[in-house]
Amino acid sequence: TAGITQAPTSQILAAGRSMTLRCTQDMRHNAMYWYRQDLGLGLRLIHYSNTAGTTGKGEVPDGYSVSRANTDDFPLTLASAVPSQTSVYFCASSDAAGISTDTQYFGPGTRLTVL
Amino acid sequence: GDSVTQMEGPVTLSEEAFLTINCTYTATGYPSLFWYVQYPGEGLQLLLKATKADDKGSNKGFEATYRKETTSFHLEKGSVQVSDSAVYFCALVLNDYKLSFGAGTTVTVRA
């Protein structure tokens, strides 16, 4: 079982350009999440989705958008990238949204550099 | 707001040494507590968790006990191996599914 896949693995992007980070899970999990990981700050939640068709803002949503057209896919879009969005981005999923004990499963990450 | 504070690293140990990584939390209710581990070049994976006070989570020789009186969830392992070299994250979930992470502690174990 693949679990969660992310693409691309890494990317260098010019400031002002747009980009979509892809995330696909094959576990039929209801909830999906996007985090960014920055040194000394741990992981911070960007956006989340409780179930297909719904999304919500996390701790650091500005400059990012998401959609959840189906259960498996949860793309993250940067409409106009800025250097402060240089980070490692992780997608995650969990089985049942709203249950605080539920485990989240993480993808391998996308390393994005904005120049 | 709800938050987690964990011991700053990096931590460097010799094989078979005892490892402790301190984690304390601030929360308005009674959260579930987690330790996640990130091996080099990989995503995070759950190491262990505890869902209520006095629960002990354990996995791969690691243990952590949920201490409500001290609002702590310290991670311990009695004898580390080189393969335990990783970044360790303490995290909590309160009334929803949103994980709040600590900053992470980098552990390097030398042979």
Sign of CA dihedral A40, B51, A45, A111: positive
Q: Over the stretch B11-56, which tens digit does the pLDDT of each residue have?
A: 999 999 999 999 999 988 888 999 999 998 888 999 999 999 999 9
Nearest-CB residue to A99 (from B31, B49, B97): B97
Q: Which of B66, B99, B105, B106 to mutate to test the interface with A (most CBs of A within 10 A)?
A: B99
**Nearest residue on chain A to B52, judged by CA atoms?**
A101
Q: Which of A84-88, B61-65, B92-96 has the lowest mean pLDDT?
A: B92-96
Determine contact: A54 vs chain B, CB below 8 A: no
Q: Which residues contact A106 (CB under 8 A, 6 or more apart)?
A: A4, A90, A91, A92, B36, B43, B44, B45
**pLDDT digits 0-9 by tens, B52-84:** 999 999 999 999 999 999 999 999 999 999 999
**Interchain CB contacts (distance < 8 Å): A and B:** 62
Q: What is the mean pLDDT of chain A?
A: 92
Which string of DSSP letters, residue by residue, matches chain A?
---EEEE-SEEEE-TT--EEEEEEESS--SEEEEEEEETTTEEEEEEEESSTT--EE-SS-TTEEE--SSSSB--EEESS--GGG-EEEEEEEESSTT-TTPPPEE---EEEEE-
**Cis bond upstream, residue A75 (ω within 30):** no
Per-residue pLDDT band at A101 (split at 50, 70, 90): low
